[in-house]
Chains A and B, each alone.
Chain A
Amino acid sequence: MPDPASDCLLELTDVRRLYRLPRQRLLGPAPRRVALDGVTLRLWAGETLGIVGESGSGKSTLGRLAVGLERPDSGTVRFQDADLWATGRPGKRRLRRDAQMVFQDPYGSLDPRQKIAQIVAEPLGLLHLGRAAAAERCREALAEVGLGAEALDRYPHEFSGGQRQRIAIARALITRPALLVADEPVSALDVSVQAQVLNLLAELQRRHGLALLFISHDLAVVAHLADRIAVMQAGKVVEEGPRDQVLDAPSHPYTRNLLAAVLPPDPAKARARLGLVRKRRA
């Protein structure tokens, strides 16, 4: 494990986040739902932390807090040794450069009316680069994800799901961030294409020493990429530790449930996991 004092990139301490739900009655109080309930997590430079949990566990909220898209109701989010919500605008500006995000839906996350050149260059607005330097960065970022410069003048609809996700990754990389938050980046993709995107993320992570916060409902995918795994349930991190420890010796019953529910593509094992015994044949 890296030296905790120097390399800690992102630190969430006792973070709570509540969402207000619609009022049930006109003058009644708006009910609240706890999305994150006292979450404490650290992410070191250059490591991949996998967040796994089912729908409603708070994993996406965690990702949004990590890049400053949401503000915690209590607790602190520190990024590169500065409290995100204490420093005001300059802190946020640096955050937008040094922390980037890739979303699940490669169809909804790219503006259909913009050309790829505009989409990928968008985060550069923060850096005040000249036009030539910006164009060069665009080509570089696309090359990083395996797309040629001919993509620049095309529109999102001309690309497949896997290619769109590459474009979204290029957009995230263009500011050369220290942290990349990927929220279900392969969930909308077919297995054969999912593998391409997972390989790409692993490669980029190694090449640039990115810290990767990888959020997914799919334990197998998380296990493939992560150095450490945090398991979330109902707004809490119920288990967190090195990948092998979480997978081989899970301490929380919920983690054991998750592991037991994964169906391997092996008929005998998958049947045994479900506990299926066919009593009668028609």
Chain B
Amino acid sequence: MTLLEIEGLTLDLPTPAGTLRLLDGIDLALNAGDWHGIVGESGCGKSLTALSIMRLQPDRTRLGGRLVFDGRDLLGLDEPALGRLRGAEIGMIFQEPMTALNPVRTIGWQIAEGLRLDGRLGRADIAARTRDAMRRVGLDPEQFSPKLYPHQLSGGQRQRAMIAMVLARRPKLLIADEPTTALDVTVQAEILKLIAEIADETGMALLFITHDLGVVAAIAEAVHVMYAGQIVETGPTDLVFDELAHPYLRGLFDALPTALGEAGRGRLAAIPGQVPEPGGAAQACSFAPRCHRADALCHSVRPVLAPLEAPAHRAACFHPLARGRDRA
């Protein structure tokens, strides 16, 4: 059953110089229990996509297209209805747990806050659920007081507290925006595993937003690669990361230092140039200026997602790369 359905999602920012299109026709369908990843570099629109799903897009921007969650049209909901949805049905965790947590409230208070807002549970039940959630994320309330404040926790513990806050309300979908980017690698592995295990136990769907191809590879069963406000390649992660059809994605892989455990390390194949400013040419492929395969067509027509060999695997490219061929 489709839990989240995004069709032709656009986000526009009107400016005196004209309207900037920040998100350009995002399509994404996520079933209950699915684990998806959105991957891209800074400024590609991955966080804006996440915020738009929660209807938390920046002020003065205009949202268009279709956004349906669990049978409800999110673009048609009013603020009170959205308030009941956020946190309760769609949970979200962010990169920097220090700024996402309230510094003057204890973590126990913050974990229970959402449950109090729900208004369905009595005080004793809320306390019990809070303890359960803390135990589940590895902050055992027997040894680890719920009366601690965020500044008394390490980065990993804060992220665990964030996960406990989200988890306590049992949402159907968890949107995690770079949840492990600020953490050390060994802690990152623990937190990823924790999120995956909880999602597995509860049947919660995951939408992971990250710049890290390794994190997507580990967590996401389906991946959406974004560039300049558009999804440029999408499909099952195994297939997409095996074929790397879009020259941008292939470029990202070739630019990664992979010296670990492999003999020989030469020059990295950097992608020339840089990410375009938002709201660039609507009449051309936004990657064309950096692409070694670009021709006149790419500079005059904007490609849309089209199926490749396996229909579930799609790329927005006139000259997709074949598997293994043209590999740098």
Given A194-B255, A223-B259 in contact, is the A261-B188 Cβ separation under 8 Å? yes
The verdict on A199 contacting chain B, using a C-beta distance below 8 Å, is yes
Q: Are B255 and A258 in contact (CB under 8 A)?
A: no
In whole angstroms, what is the CA distance A248 to B217 when docked? Answer: 23
Residues in A whose Cβ lies below 8 Å from that of B60: none
A46 within 8 A of partner (CB) = no
Question: What are the interface flags for A236-258 relative to B under an 8 Å C-beta threshold, 1 for contact and 0 otherwise?
Answer: 00000000000110000000011
Q: How far is the CA of A191 from the CA of B267 in the complex (A)?
A: 14
Q: Are A267 and B261 in contact (CB under 8 A)?
A: no
Q: Is the interface of A mostly helix, strand, loop or mixed?
A: helix
Which B residues are in CB contact (< 8 Å) with A279? 200-201
Residues of chain B within 8 A of A265, CB atoms compared:
213-214, 216-217, 241, 253, 256
Distance from B302 Cβ to chain A, minimum over Cβ atoms (Å): 21
Near A by CB (< 8 A), chain B positions 245-286 give 251-253, 255-261, 265, 267-271, 274-275
B157 CB, min distance to chain A CBs, angstroms: 14
Check A221/B257 contact, CB under 8 A, given A263-B189, A265-B213, A282-B31: yes
Q: Which of B170-217 contact A (CB under 8 A)?
A: 184-186, 188-189, 192-193, 196, 200-201, 203, 205, 211-217
Q: Which of B184, B193, B203, B241 contacts A275 (CB 8 A)?
A: B193
Contact B259 A220 (CB under 8 A): yes
Is B269 touching A195 in the complex (CB atoms < 8 A)? yes
Q: Contacts of A264 on B, CB cut-off 8 Å?
A: 214, 217, 258, 260
Contact A220 B256 (CB under 8 A): yes
Q: In the complex, A140→B211 CA distance in Å?
A: 35
What 1/0 mask marks residues of chain A from 174 to 203 whose CB sits below 8 Å from any chain B CB?
000000000000000011111110110010
Would you call A54 an interface residue if the criterion is a C-beta within 8 Å of the partner chain's C-beta atoms?
yes
A234 at the interface (CB under 8 A from B): no
Smallest beta-carbon distance A196→chain B, Å: 4
User: Is the CB of A131 closer than 8 A to any CB of chain B?
Assistant: no
A248 to B258, CA, bound (A): 14
- Whether A274 contacts B218 in the complex (CB less than 8 A), given A192-B270, A202-B267, A262-B185, comes out as yes
CB–CB B270/A282 < 8 A: no
Closest chain-A Cβ to B208's Cβ sits at a distance in Å of 12
Bound form: Cα–Cα A220–B265 in Å: 11
**Min CB–CB distance A21 → chain B (angstroms):** 14
0/1 string, B20-53, CB within 8 A of A gives 1: 0000000000011110000001100000000000
Question: Once the chains bind, are B203 and A280 in contact (CB under 8 Å)?
Answer: yes
**CB-based contact A195/B270 at 8 Å:** yes
A263 touches B268 (CB 8 A): no
The docked-state distance in angstroms from the alpha carbon of A221 to that of B212 is 14
* B257: nearest chain-A partner, CB-CB: A224
Query: Counting CB contacts under 8 A, is B110 at the interface?
Result: no
Contact at B265–A224, with CB atoms within 8 Å?
yes
Q: Is A204's beta carbon under 8 Å from chain B? A: no
Query: Please, which residues of chain A bring their CB within 8 A of the CB of B274?
Result: 160, 162, 192-193
The answer, yes or no, to whether B237 is at the interface (CB within 8 Å) is: yes
A266 close to B (CB within 8 Å): yes
Contact A190 B275, CB 8 Å, known A224-B265, A259-B260, A276-B193: yes
Q: Is the CB of B261 within 8 A of A247?
A: yes
Residues of B within 8 A of A268 (CB): 238
Tell me the minimal C-beta distance from A50 to chain B in angstroms: 11
Q: Please, which residue of chain A has its CB at the minimum distance from the CB of B39?
A: A265
Q: Which of B200, B216, B270 gathers most chain A CB within 10 Å?
A: B270
Instruction: Kindly state the separation between the CA atoms of A202 and B251 in the bound complex, as whole angstroms.
Output: 20
Contact B256 A258 (CB under 8 A): no
Contact B255 A220 (CB under 8 A): no
Q: Is A219 an interface residue (CB 8 A)?
A: yes
Task: Tell me whether A190 and B257 are in contact (CB under 8 A).
Answer: no
Name the residue on A nearest B192 (C-beta): A274
Chain A residue numbers with a CB within 8 Å of B267 are 199, 202
Q: Are B268 and A195 in contact (CB under 8 A)?
A: yes
Q: Which residues of A contact B31 (CB under 8 A)?
A: 282
Is A16 in contact with chain B by the CB < 8 A criterion?
Answer: no
Q: Which residues of B contact A193 (CB under 8 A)?
A: 270, 274
Q: Is A271 an interface residue (CB 8 A)?
A: yes
10 contacts between A and B (CB under 8 A): A192-B275, A194-B255, A195-B268, A263-B188, A263-B189, A263-B218, A264-B258, A270-B215, A271-B217, A271-B218
List chain B positions with a Cβ less than 8 A from chain A. Answer: 31-34, 41-42, 155, 184-186, 188-189, 192-193, 196, 200-201, 203, 205, 211-219, 237-238, 241, 251-253, 255-261, 265, 267-271, 274-275
A contact set with B: CB distance below 8 Å: 54-55, 160, 162, 190-196, 198-199, 202, 217, 219-221, 223-224, 247-248, 257-271, 273-276, 278-282
Given contacts A190-B41, A193-B270, A276-B196, 17 further A-B contacts (CB under 8 A): A191-B41, A191-B255, A192-B271, A192-B275, A193-B274, A219-B260, A220-B258, A220-B260, A259-B260, A264-B260, A265-B214, A265-B256, A274-B218, A276-B218, A279-B200, A282-B33, A282-B203
4 closest A-B pairs by beta carbon, nearest first, are A282-B33, A263-B214, A224-B257, A195-B270
